Structure formats: structure tokens, C-alpha cells
Structure 1
Amino acid sequence: MQTSLKKRISLSLLLGATLCLLLSSLPARATEKLLRFSIPPRGNPPYLIVHKEGLPTGIIWDILSRVAKQQGYRLVPVKTPRKRVDQSMRFGQLDATARAMEWTPDPEQFIFSEPMFKARDVIFSPIQRPLQFSSPKDLIGKKLRAQLGYHYPKLAPYFNTHQILRMDDMDSYQQLRKLLLAPYRFDGAIVNEWVGRWLIRRHQWQGYFAISKQDVGDVDYRLMFNKKWLSFVDAFNRELTKMKKNGQLQEIVQSYQ
């Protein structure tokens, strides 16, 4: 009887200690600092790359996750269709996304970081017929593959008057693939420079394309935050400046090219 009683007391003490440990861990988890970051469901390589398992990677993810960790936040990816991002951020369901001010209908409703880098649209052309130009006028009479739904302000007057012929594709992969399959049917494709370089590396298309030195448009790529994140944006800008000066930013970019 005494041995049985001791066993029950020991078991009760063990269970009590275990419960205390579990309860003590709950407040830490409940107060964990999260930064909910919007990413496109299919990603946007090489800026944001979605994997079947694990966390995303990519230029922007690597930059933000490094700063978030320094500031004590856990970066949480939230797959969100583009049309729902702004509303979700206004309602506090998302905290941040990657965006250029020029792509935002009401930029004053949000806080933007300093520019991380320039996003340049350039022309990829068949290596057999490299296309270089100094101004849009040099492209008159050319046939260019573009991306459906994208607006190119510098070329718009020439597209609208059919001085430059535009053929649309769903994405950059299709643009380059069609150019590769029919190098003499089209003169070039308008593609984001880093996206095009990433696709060439991924699909082993080295040696098939020439890339124009001149761009047809560029924007400052930033992070866009809900307004309550002002202090974090200030910290992000400070760290971004350091990363530009010490070469860390360039290292991240080059790892995806």
C-alpha cells in the first residue's frame, strides 16, 4: 500500500511539473512577433521563389528575412492573389508586400521602404540577331513579345500607333521560349532583366539570347507596409543602407543570377 501511494504521488508530481512547463511556454508563443508577408501564389522568381515544401527563397525574401530576424520578428509567408493584397493590408490581415510606388493606386495609404534596387525592363533578342537601341524610335518596325496586362510607358505611343508591333504572352517564360523557338519571326521580348537572367540560368539557355544595355523602363522596387509598421520600416531602411555599403545586398542578388 505504501509503495503504491508513493508511486501515485511521484506520478502526480511528474504530471504537475510537465503541465507547468507546458503552460510556461504558452505566453512566449502567444507574444511571438510575426511579420506576415504577402507573396504571389506562384511566386515571382527570382524576387520571390515558392517551393513545394519549406519557406520561400528569392532576392526580396532573403533581404527581408535577414532584417526581420535582426529585429526579433519571424517572417511568415502568406500566399495572396494580387487583387486582394491592398485590401488585406488595410484591414490588418497582412503586414507587408513587395511593390513599387508606381504600381499602387493609393500609395499614401501605406508606408514604403527606401528602394532596394532598380527593376529594369530590357529587351532579350535572339543571339543570331542581337537588338541594341538608344531610344524607342530605334525600335520602330520591330516585333516585340510583351507580357499580358503590363504597361510600358516609354513604348506605349509606338504600340498604340502600331509603329512597334506587340504580341502578348502570359509570363516571361513563355516570352523567351517563343523567341527561342522562332528566332527569325520576332525581334525581341521585353522582360525584367533579373527575371530573364534567372530563367536563362534555370533552363540552361545560355548562349541563345542577347540582352540590351538600354532599358525600356525601370522602377524602384520597395517594400510596402501597413502604416503601423513605421518603426520597423525605419529599422529596415538603416539595415538596407548597411547591406548596400558592405556588399551583402549585391551578394544576395548575384546568388540568383
Structure 2
Amino acid sequence: MRRSFWRTVCALTGAWLLTHAASAQCSRVVFSANPDYPPYHWAEGDRIVGASVALTGRIFDELGVAWEARHVGPWPRVLKSAEHGQIDLIVSLKATPEREAYLVFTHAPAFPNPMAVFSAKARPVRFDSPQDLVGKLGGRTAGDRFGDAFDRYAEQSLTLEDADSLSVNFVKLAAGRIDYVVTGLYTGRAQLLRMGMSDRIVPLPRPVNEGDIHHGFSRRSPCAALVEAVNQRLATAQRDGLQRRLLEEALQQWQRSQAGAQRP
């Protein structure tokens, strides 16, 4: 019992020392994100706001590290800024081999990012498996992917029309021109709030897949030394259900911001 106690003390002390050594190298973290990806994050003036900022800011506050959520421009510019070390961190994005060349990703996910099937309330669609969509006409945004298994099945057995944007797909769905739309659960809900259509189109209960997104520190930033400390706190947030709660709160924040923007 005594030996176990001291092992725990040593582990906690080591984690504390690691965090404070990293903090000494990184006195301030500047992070950014896709400026149009609600409810995870979106731009308001020169700031990025949303669930990603709420979670990440909380983590850095716990670590005693100053931070800034900065809007640096369009999404390609955000990626380039991290690649060149002009920002320290990109929050809540998909880890890919190409991005891993210049980003150090957390192992624990920043947020869940499940894909879902949306249907019109007036014309409900059953979805327990991809086979239920055979014979129906679906919509997706050009370039979107939903996991290898679903993508392979869709290519072989489903009929999906590509559109330039999610809003176009939801308009087509509301008009009865397609039977369903496949997109991200939370981003789809945010888009419906933006369009004022959340009372007409709803996500179906069973997700297409249970994807995740992660934080990525620039390999050129001294703040990359914080990745393990951030990883530990993300894992704790996941166990506590904090991430999903923050997403629901951010959807309400997004809805209020859209209502304010529409007032004359």
C-alpha cells in the first residue's frame, strides 16, 4: 500500500514538473481554427469562439498558461500559419498524414465528430444501417467523407448527389428533391439553426460513424512541449462528458449569435 502511494506521488510530481518545464518554454499559446465550423468554432471579429475555445481555454487556465484564440483568416491560411510556426496550435481538426508532417496531434480526442443522416420531419427516413438507404436519393457536400466502410458501401450501393454546400443540400431536402442528407451531426445542426430550418429537418438517432477530431500543435512552436499535459486533460474531459456538454452550450451560443445578426 505504501509503495503504491509513493508511486502515485512520484507520477503526479513528474507530471507537474513536466507541465511547468513546458510552461517555462511557452509563456503564451496563440491558437486558431477553421473560422466557419460551428458549433466547434467560428469567427467573431478578430476572435475565434465556440466549444473548442471554451474547452481549450479552460485547459490552459488550469495549466497556468496565457492564451489567445485568434482569427487569422480562411481555413487554408490557418493551416499554413501553423505549418510556418506563426501560431502555436490548431484546435479540433482531423488528424491526417499530411497534417502530421507539421502538427503534433493529441492522442485523446478534443471532441466527438459523428456523422449523421438528416431527414425531413414531413418525410421521415428509417436508418438502422446503410442498407436502409438503398433506393433513396441522398445528398452530401462535395468532398465530404464519412469513414471507409460507409464510403465504400455508398459508392457501390447508394445514390448520392453532390452539392457545393450543406445549405444547398438542406434546401433540396426541405423541397423534397432528395430523401436525406449525410453530414456531421453537430455542424449539420448548426447549419439548420443558421437557416431557421431546425423545426423541419432533424438528425436520425443512429450515427453513420463515431468520428473524432484532435488538437494539433505546430512542430515549430515551443508550446508543442505542452502536448502531453493537454492530452491528459482532454482524456479527463472525455471521461467526464464535458465535451458533449460544451457542444450543446455552443449550439445555444451560435443560435443567439445568429438571432442577433438577423436583427435590423
TM range, smaller chain: 0.7 to 0.9
Which residue does the alignment assign to 1:49?
42
Equivalent in the alignment of 1:189:
181
Aligned counterpart for 2:218 among listed residues 214, 226, 235: 226
What secondary structure does 1:221 align onto? strand
8 Å CA contact retained: 1:120, 1:193: yes
CA spacing shift, 1:242–1:155, aligned 2, 3 Å: closer
Do the aligned partners of 2:48 and 2:69 also contact (CA within 8 Å) in 1?
no
Amino acid at match of 2:168: Q
TM value normalised by structure 1: 0.73
**C-alpha distance in 2 between matches for 1:164 and 1:247:** 34
2:87 corresponds, among 94, 104, 113, to 94
Q: Secondary structure at the match of 2:170?
A: helix
Q: Does 1:141 align with 2:144?
A: no
- Which one of the candidate residues 162, 167, 174 is aligned to 2:161? 167
Provide Cα deviations, 1:28-75, integer angstroms capped at 9, x if missing partner. xxx9933222323x4211111212x35321111211122223332222
In structure 2, how many angstroms separate the alpha carbons of the residues matched to 1:230 and 1:249?
22
Cα offset, 1:108, TM superposition: 5.6
1:121 and 1:56 mapped to 2: Cα distance?
Answer: 24
Shift of 1:205: 2.5
- TM-score of the superposition, structure 2-length normalised? 0.72
Mapped to 2, the partners of 1:198 and 1:36 lie a distance apart of 26
Contact 2:32 2:48 in 1 (8 A): no
Runs of at least 5 residues in structure 1 that lack an aligned partner in the other structure? 1-30
**Structure 2 Cα separation of the partners of residues 188 and 253 of structure 1:** 24
Aligned residue identity for 1:46: P
Greater Cα shift, 56-65 or 194-203: 194-203
Percent of residue pairs bearing the same amino acid type? 21
In 1, Cα distance between the equivalents of 2:93 and 2:161? 26
| Residues paired across the two proteins, number | 221
Q: Distance in 2 between matches of 1:243 and 1:234?
A: 14
Aligned to 2:32: 38
How many angstroms does 1:212 deviate by? 1.9
Rounded to whole Å, the distance in 2 between the matches of 1:141 and 1:61 is 42
Q: Distance in 1 between matches of 2:109 and 2:123?
A: 35
- Which moves more between the two structures, 227-236 or 185-194? 227-236
- Give 1:136's aligned amino acid: P
Query: Cα distance 1:170–1:33, how it changes in 2: closer, same or farther (>3 A)?
Result: farther
Question: What RMSD over aligned residues (CA atoms) do the two structures have, in Å?
Answer: 2.7
Give a deviation string over 1:77-133, Cα, whole Å, max 9, x none: 1424444544433331222113222x4425265321211232111110111221222
Query: Is the deviation greater in 139-148 or in 84-93?
Result: 84-93
Q: Does 1:156 align with 2:148?
A: no
Task: Give the SS at the match of 1:129.
Answer: coil
Measured in 2, the distance between the counterparts of 1:116 and 1:38 equals 14
Question: Does residue 1:125 correspond to 2:119, yes or no?
Answer: yes
- Counterpart secondary structure, 1:199: helix
Q: Which structure is larger by alpha-carbon Rg, 1 or 2?
A: 1
Q: Which runs of 5 or more structure 2 residues have no equivalent in the other structure? A: 1-24, 252-264
Structure 2 counterpart of 1:92, one-letter code:
G
CA contact (8 A) 1:172 1:195 kept: no
CA contact (8 A) 1:35 1:74 kept: yes
